[in-house]
């Protein structure tokens, strides 16, 4: 068994309402478990997870988790709009998210 620390962000937090905001929950998974197994264990539909960071590095659902991994799960994030003459010309451009886990 491996134990990982997991944080859910934005709308995914509803799956762990007992965990205070900003805190991680420790979850035990069998050896060889993947991110996809963790998502399933939490009862989250894979379609609800858009970004996964493991120890600050973006990973895919097939990543095999390791003992002590810090995992952050994010839903799809939308927003912004088309830049118009009254808007900031940078509105709607891609944004880079930096995480310190």
Please report the DSSP string for 46-81 in residue order: GGG--EEEETTEE--TTPBP-TT-EEEEE-------
Q: Give the domain ranges of the chain.
A: 2-74
User: What was the pLDDT predicted at 97?
Assistant: 52
Per residue in 23-56, pLDDT (tens digit) is 999 999 999 999 999 999 999 999 999 999 999 9
Q: Is 2-74 in CATH node 3.10.20.30?
A: yes
User: What was the pLDDT predicted at 55?
Assistant: 97
Asked if 12 contacts 73 with a C-beta cutoff of 8 angstroms, the reply is yes
* pLDDT higher than 90, residue 94: no
């Amino acid at each position: 068994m491996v134990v990982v620390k997991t944080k859910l962000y934005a709308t995914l937090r509803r799956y762990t309402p007992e965990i205070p905001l900003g805190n991680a929950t420790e979850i035990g998974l069998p050896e060889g478990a993947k991110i996809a197994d963790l998502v399933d264990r939490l009862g989250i539909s894979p379609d609800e997870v858009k970004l996964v960071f493991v120890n600050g590095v973006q990973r895919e659902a097939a990543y095999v988790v390791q003992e002590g991994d810090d995992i952050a799960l994010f839903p799809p994030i939308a927003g912004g709009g088309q830049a118009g003459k009254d808007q900031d010309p940078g509105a709607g451009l891609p944004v880079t998210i930096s995480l310190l886990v």
